[in-house]
Chain A
Amino acid sequence: MNGHLAWQPVLYGRTLRADKWWRVLPPNVDVRWLNALMIAATGSGDSLSDAPRMLMARRGNVVLVGAACWAALLSKGMNSDGNRPFYCFVGWLSPDPDAVVPSLEALQERWVPWAREVYEGWMRVDWNKHPSDLTNAHEPPFGAAPWTGTVAELGATRDAIRAPQRASIPASGRITVVPVEAAGGAWLDLFESAGDFAIAGPFEQPVADSAGILTHIVANVSRADSAGVIPARAPDPAKMPAPEQAGPPWRDSADQRMSDSQPRESPLPPPPAMERPPPPAMERPTGHEPHRRRFRDKAGRAFRSLTGAQEASYEDDINDPRTDRQEAEDPSHGPAKDLNYWRRQHETAPDSRSNKEPPQLG
């Protein structure tokens, strides 16, 4: 099915002038799912080796396949801000249930030239743009995958390299560690499985998935060491689909569409001229309320609110202390709210007790 226009490129990488990462992003995809995959695959750059780290993931009918790498692998000129090297992810995404991914071996062999074409083509559009011109990612057109193959051919590959034990999707919240030599088989087994998954690697060693999205990690471990599964980091709710959005990440709602419909070679707007108005005269604050008194007032209010429950126990009688008190307020934050904690701390340390006498009646 890859001859059909079933695939859209995905490019995640920052530009020379802007710390913004989505360059090419298909619309109607849950971007939080994609964000979590990007974080998992790139590992914030610090664990990337010289070789690309492959990724394949599926939710519902949507499949993403690609790799993370240092940008220098894909471009000689667009790979750093002059000081720090950049990393990126280039892949292809399809909502077509019949779309076929390449084998891991084919992807590893050919990904760099395929990705280079995507990176050079799309990154060039944004590379020198002013940050204010990078508000939205580009919407990629559908096209044919750069690889060829059918399900039958993929199945034949799988039969040739099949591992003794087929990879399966672990229970939620667990990550299966796959040795590098078994990765190709696991890759195909997962593609043929029915459920959602995300596999990435190779990693130097089994790592906790910082994004909480991976089900399988390919790592440099022996088969014996990879017998078990490791717990994944709990997914950050802020990065994961909300409950009502659970299910396939491919959504049709119009509000998810990006406004940039097509890449465009628009000329850069001239950078704004540096404004040079005379700075306002520095006025040093004068005549203000003393700092200590203001803090004390706030702290006092907070404490009164903390002791509100005790105050309520006083009986209504002559000269009742309650009559002088302010109404209880909501507890404040900061040190005032911690007073009871610190009191308990010092109560458990008898040596620190004060010898100061309580106030006497005048």
Chain B
Amino acid sequence: MTDYPSLTITALGNKGSGKTTFLLGMYADLSAGRKGYFLNATNPDADLALASKWDKLLDDGVLPPPNLADNIPYEFLFLDGTRPLLGVDWLDYRGGALEDEVGAASGDVPELHKRLNKSDTIYLVVDGGYLVRPVENHTRAGIMRMGGLRRMTSLLQTAIRAREASGDLAPSIVVLITKADLIPPARRDPLDEMVDDIQQLLSVCFADGLSTLICPVMLGHFGLNPEGKVRTSDIAPHDLHLPIIFSLAEYMHQLSLAASSAAAISAQRLRDLDTHLSGLRTGAGAFFRRSSIAEKSKERAAAEEEYKSLDVVQQVAAKRAGALFGELEGLPLFRDGREVSR
């Protein structure tokens, strides 16, 4: 993992919101490949464990049991074909840890809080069962409490403050609506009504400085409160790969901005060096400044090389970001609270 730049992704969700099931479905989908992009667990045993749990669901309809107080870390590689692009650092944990105190005997809470502060992307997992009907004034507080949304808001704000304090960018955010099969089709397409609901429930995601995608996903048509087993014929995964596509698109987008900014600085340095060189070469005594001129010329060549390479990085990253954002067409995407969806 140290060989590649890495994205830390944390899914915040209440118990039973579908974090583990989403992970299984997302991995099954992307490990098989999507348009030449792949997600691959760096540990072959982890790959097998994830695949076998997914197979158990497909073959026997067995949903994953609740996690116990064991944070399970996963390291993935996001590949373009066979070429590694980015490492992805993922943690699966019990949803109850969100509501536990840091000093709880379970021992798994401090790691989760520490990890949140270094997460490049945070998924706020909202159980679609809470969005079956439009959110109203008298239901809002109850949904926020039962869905753990108040706690998520608080933890997200803490993480953003911690990142700002250490000079990090704010994390990109995905409002991941699981069990979207529970939501009536009329509310799913178009998503306008549901977007309004999410803006009421998770208004922090639409604050200045944040990029937020709203992404409903589903594993199948299981209805409300399925038992530990579901009918395998009801399994129909939908859009499980899109949240991580967004995370990568945001990374590439920000990389292109960073490269563009760095290239601008590099260009300015190039201009300054040219001015400097021009001064050294003009006027009397230029002959005696040959060594300075040679040194500056060398610096100029290095600066030119730097500028060119940064320009390439900017172009390639922008192109990748464009392609990845293209996959998210039709999903509500907000920057600074303003919708910028394609």
Which A positions have Cβ atoms within 8 angstroms of B? 12, 14, 18-22, 25, 31-32, 35, 38-39, 42, 44-46, 80-87, 131, 135-137, 208, 210-211, 238-239, 258, 274-279, 282, 284-285, 288-289, 291-292, 294-304, 307, 310, 313-315, 317-321, 324, 329-330, 332-336, 338-339, 341-343, 346-347, 352-354, 356, 358-359, 361
Contacts and interface: CB of A to CB of B under 8 A. Distances in A.
Which label, helix, strand, loop or mixed, suits the secondary structure of the A interface?
Answer: loop
A279 B140 contact: yes
A131 B225 contact: no
Contacts of B336: 285, 288, 291
B307 interface: yes
Contact of A84 (B65, B118, B252, B311): B65
Q: Give the top 10 A-B pairs by smallest Cβ distance, nearest first.
A: A19-B96, A299-B258, A321-B272, A45-B65, A303-B262, A285-B337, A335-B255, A338-B5, A19-B15, A300-B261
A319 B66 contact: no
A38 B108 CA distance: 13
Contact of A292 (B169, B225, B257, B338): B257
Contacts of A32: 107
Given A285-B208, A299-B257, A321-B269, A343 B169 contact: no
Interface of B: 4-5, 15-16, 45, 53, 56, 63-70, 72, 94-97, 99-101, 104-108, 110-111, 118, 120, 137-138, 140-142, 145, 166-169, 196, 199-200, 203, 206-209, 211, 225-228, 251-252, 254-255, 257-262, 264-265, 267-276, 278-279, 292, 295, 299, 302, 304, 306-313, 315-317, 335-338
Nearest to A19: B96
Given A276-B142, A358-B304, A334 B120 contact: yes
Given A86-B66, A338-B5, 14 more contacts: A44-B67, A87-B68, A238-B111, A276-B142, A282-B203, A285-B338, A288-B208, A295-B257, A299-B260, A299-B262, A307-B265, A315-B292, A319-B272, A354-B308
B307 A343 contact: no
A320 B304 CA distance: 17
A291 to B, nearest CB: 5
A239 B99 contact: no
A195 B42 CA distance: 35
A39 B68 contact: yes
Most buried by B among A81, A83, A136, A332: A83
A308 to B, nearest CB: 12
A330 B258 contact: no
Contacts of B255: 335, 338-339, 342
A93 to B, nearest CB: 14
A20 B169 contact: no
A32 B70 CA distance: 11
A294 B209 contact: yes
Contacts of A258: 105
A32 B28 CA distance: 33
A230 to B, nearest CB: 11
B142 A18 contact: no
A279 B299 contact: no
Given A81-B66, A282-B199, A334-B168, A19 B99 contact: yes
Contact of B69 (A35, A80, A292): A35
Contacts of B273: 321
Contacts of B276: 317-321
A12 B272 CA distance: 68
B258 A339 contact: yes
